[in-house]
Amino acid sequence: MYKEISLPEAHDCADCPIRHRAVCARCDADELEQLDAIKYYRSFQAGQTVVWSGDQMDFVGSVVSGIATLTQTMEDGRTQMVGLLLPSDFVGRPGREGSAYDVVATTDLVMCCFRKKPFEKMMVETPHVAQRLLEMTLDELDAAREWMLVLGRKTAREKIASLLSIIARRDATLHLRPAKGKLVFDLPLTREAMADYLGLTLETVSRQISALKRDGVIQLEGKRHVTVPDLDRLLIEAGDDSDGGMFA
Amino acid sequence: MYKEISLPEAHDCADCPIRHRAVCARCDADELEQLDAIKYYRSFQAGQTVVWSGDQMDFVGSVVSGIATLTQTMEDGRTQMVGLLLPSDFVGRPGREGSAYDVVATTDLVMCCFRKKPFEKMMVETPHVAQRLLEMTLDELDAAREWMLVLGRKTAREKIASLLSIIARRDATLHLRPAKGKLVFDLPLTREAMADYLGLTLETVSRQISALKRDGVIQLEGKRHVTVPDLDRLLIEAGDDSDGGMFA
DNA sequence: GTTCGCGCTTGATCTGGGTCAAGGATAGCA
DNA sequence: TGCTATCCTTGACCCAGATCAAGCGCGAAC
């Protein structure tokens, strides 16, 4: 249905936007050169599937720009999102043949891919890569556990507020704005994708967003552009007034 | 309420029951000696809290025997279990001060602890430890994502069947019995702990277990001793007839 | 400009699992 | 040998969120 966009320009790690946050963050010049030798870029259109669950995956890589999702699907079609991949996040698992999940681009997406075999070799030889990957994986595990609380115990309203607060804060750190007081951002997900993330139906998502808007917790311009007048208020609605869910 | 049991006997890594599965699995004799120098054993009684969420943690370690749980609690008391720690599982996160979760012993528990500072030093110097920990963390992340599907999309009956099938299979591999056909095991969790794991109430857990018993999917002797006459049947009830959730 | 399709909203109704409440079984202990 | 505490079961009722259904708004294609 879509065809992959080829990306003509070569990229230099030196001015890579995710250089200091991705799996290569700890690498020195020499190690970067090694990575450079096995890397290539791929672009995907919004909606395009990057890998199907169960399919052979001959690469691993980092999200450079755009957003992708990890989802699991049951035989009868029920689906649960299990990961939201933002720029600098890592895709794939060294030492595993196939993908355990569907990976789908929800916006236009650029990935920095490494051929798997040589990457696995580097994992063994250059501890900086393995160390950074461990750190990132531990962060993702924390995020996954935070989501288990959201999925298992929070109400629909709290779930929506939790998701909004996470996106708001991620967006703030990405644009280096202070994550407090008034925040403005665009929702990178459809109502259906939010529902899949939160274990809800899209109707419930829609209703709860309308309710938060009616109650003045958020303002909406169009369907995607959100203003949060008071982050603390949103966090209270999310059920965690201290500091709640962080993504990877 | 409880007091910690001191463990007089010294343990030798050579005849450690979790030697080949724990974080030390890849270590050679020399590395084991290094670990041996910074390790000590601690025992806890069933019900005792190992660490409180937020508390300083000056050790990391492996579960040697018994079962512990990781739980998160909201201000109003709602709790969600986010990890079930069986023998060989790792507790704690290198590079973090406090614990993010409550760790509670659900049965009598023995842990092999490493002082954190020297362990972190070893993480940098001996890649075998870091490599094994990465592998284990990736497995835990997969398990967490499997549970996100259970929490977000499965019915109460499917949730119970999922939990039973996981415990059944874990128990089978632990005792080196084939995980097929007829299985017999003891539930290591109270109804309330199961509810906390599955995002249900204890009443619903009780009702669904009764229903599965009534329908012949399981047999019960007392409240804890379970017989699964047909694992495939249980897996179908769990909503995944192929191969479903694996723990860490 | 019209039509299509997709993403979204809103209403009406239904239901799975929560809540409240009343016991039963077992084990430890005086 | 009963007392108490913990864990579990079962019933009656209720409600948050699912399901079913109708329709809106807007951008893209013709």
Range of the domain at B91: 13-147
One domain, residues B43 and B127 = yes
One domain, residues B25 and B142 = yes
One domain, residues B59 and B20 = yes
Contacts of B95 in chain A (CB under 8 A): 135
| pLDDT tens readout for residues A94-105 | 989 899 999 999
A2 in any annotated domain: no
CA A232 to each of CA A5, A61, A162, A223: distance values in angstroms, whole numbers, following the listed order: 42, 35, 12, 23
Instruction: For chain B, list residues with pLDDT below 70.
Output: 1-10, 241-248
The tens-digit pLDDT sequence of chain A (248 residues) is 444 444 445 678 988 999 999 999 999 999 999 999 999 999 999 999 999 999 999 999 999 999 999 999 999 999 999 999 999 999 999 989 899 999 999 999 999 999 999 999 999 999 999 999 999 999 999 999 999 999 999 999 999 999 999 999 888 887 777 777 789 999 999 999 999 999 999 999 999 999 999 999 999 999 999 999 999 999 999 998 664 444 33
Say yes or no: Cβ of A209 under 7 A from any atom of strand C: yes
Q: Bridge-partner residues for B43, per DSSP?
A: B5, B110
B132 CB contacts (<8 Å, ≥6 apart)? B23, B24, B25, B26, B27
B221: domain CATH number?
1.10.10.10
One domain, residues B86 and B171 = no
Contacts of A146 in chain B (CB under 8 A): 72
One domain, residues B166 and B97 = no
Residue A63 C-alpha from the chain's centroid: 9
One domain, residues A215 and A162 = yes
C-beta separation of B218 from B164 below 8 A: yes
Strand D-proximal residues, CB under 7 Å?
Answer: A 155-157, 199-201, 203-204; B 47, 190-192, 202-203, 205-207, 209-210, 220, 223-224
CA distance B47 to B67: 10
- CB-nearest partner of A148 from B93, B130, B144: B144
One domain, residues B143 and B166 = no
Which letter, b or e, does each residue of A96-115 get, where b requires 16 or more Cβ atoms within 10 Å of its Cβ? eeebbbbbbbbeebbbbbbb
Block residue for tokens 């916006």? A107
Question: What is the distance between the terminal CA atoms of chain A, rounded to a whole angstrom?
Answer: 31
DSSP string for B63-120? EEES-EEEEEE-TTS-EEEEEEE-TT-EES-TT-SB-SSEEEESS-EEEEEEEHHHHH
CA distance A170 to A186: 12
